């Protein structure tokens, strides 16, 4: 098995890769780019696997594959493998260093025609950010010992099918996502404690204020009762007669007596 050199690729790939760009040939490999369709498994605490769908990217639009999540990426280019060759693919080295792992296989069958769907897993600690048109894969062509009739037929992977997505639509709980969920639960617990503490403080303050008001009302009522007890009865008040003009009130009974009484005393 002999791999095609860069010069051979420039001669033969014009009819095998579409769109073709000779500048993407380096060190006997051709760089395939990110296409318009991407699928990323649901992630986050409120992810809904039933509503998650593939992304339709605009030109140069970016997206991120979170740590611990799985993705399908459709290539921009369509490739064809002749009957006397086989293709080999690998994620570009800079993406590998970020933790992106190709788990879709490493070869392309003789006779294959169509875009490639690459399944990848982010095993790194941080999200991997890509955009439509970014370099994603390297593909190598290698000769077989002769043409084969055992070919891959048909045109493949013009889109990421819903059938393919349904097989991996469940949420993946990575260590990072579990850590975020734990942090969120801790925050909720702290918030609840603070809420209970503040509520209890308000209740105690209101109760203390109500008790103080009731105590004040009771003291006022008691003071009023004492004042009422210190006043003379109405029968005693009647013995105090107003003085004549110019005299002062002494609080003693009036000195005026009836003449009849005076006469009786002098007899």
Residues 38-77 pLDDT 10s: 999 886 544 454 556 789 999 999 999 999 899 999 999 9
Q: In this structure, what token pair is assigned to residue 203?
A: 């209740």
Domain tally, the chain: 2
Q: Are residues 62 and 192 both part of a single domain?
A: no
247 domain residue, yes or no: no
Q: Are residues 118 and 214 both part of a single domain?
A: no
Indicate the SS3 state at residue 131. Answer: strand
pLDDT digits (tens, 9 = 90+) for 188-224: 778 888 888 888 888 888 888 888 888 887 777 666 6
SS3 content of the chain, % helix, strand, coil (to 5): 35, 25, 40
Q: Are residues 34 and 164 both part of a single domain?
A: yes
Q: Are residues 76 and 141 both part of a single domain?
A: yes
What is the pTM (predicted TM-score) of this model?
Answer: 0.64
262 domain residue, yes or no: no
Q: Are residues 177 and 51 both part of a single domain?
A: no
Q: Are residues 214 and 139 both part of a single domain?
A: no
Residue pair 7/26 in contact (Cβ under 8 Å)? The answer is: no
- Domain of residue 204 covers 173-224
Residue pair 32/16 in contact (Cβ under 8 Å)? The answer is: no
The residue from 106, 140, 171 where one domain ends is: 171
């Amino acid at each position: 098995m002999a791999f095609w050199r860069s010069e051979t690729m420039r001669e033969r790939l014009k009819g095998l890769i579409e769109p073709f760009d000779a500048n993407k040939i380096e060190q006997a490999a051709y760089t395939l780019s990110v296409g318009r369709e991407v699928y990323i498994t649901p992630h986050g605490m409120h992810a809904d696997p039933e509503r998650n769908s593939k992304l339709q990217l605009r030109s140069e639009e970016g997206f991120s594959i979170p740590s611990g999540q799985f993705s399908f990426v459709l290539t921009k280019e369509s490739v064809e493998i002749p009957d006397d060759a086989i293709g080999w693919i690998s994620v570009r080295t800079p993406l590998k260093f970020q933790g992106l792992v190709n788990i879709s296989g490493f070869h392309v069958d003789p006779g294959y025609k169509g875009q490639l769907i690459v399944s990848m897993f982010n095993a790194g600690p941080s999200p991997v950010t890509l955009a439509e048109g970014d370099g994603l894969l390297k593909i190598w062509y290698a000769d077989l010992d002769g043409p084969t009739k055992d070919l891959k037929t048909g045109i493949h992977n013009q889109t990421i099918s819903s059938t393919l997505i349904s097989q991996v639509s469940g949420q993946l709980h990575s260590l990072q996502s579990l850590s975020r969920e734990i942090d969120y639960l801790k925050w909720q617990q702290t918030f609840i404690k603070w809420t209970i503490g503040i509520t209890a403080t308000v209740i105690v303050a209101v109760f203390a204020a109500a008790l103080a008001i009731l105590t004040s009302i009771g003291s006022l009522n008691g003071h009023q009762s004492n004042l009422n007890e210190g006043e003379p009865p109405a029968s005693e008040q009647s013995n105090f007669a107003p003085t004549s003009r110019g005299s002062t009130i002494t609080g003693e009974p009036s000195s005026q007596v009836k003449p009849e009484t005076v006469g009786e005393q002098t007899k």
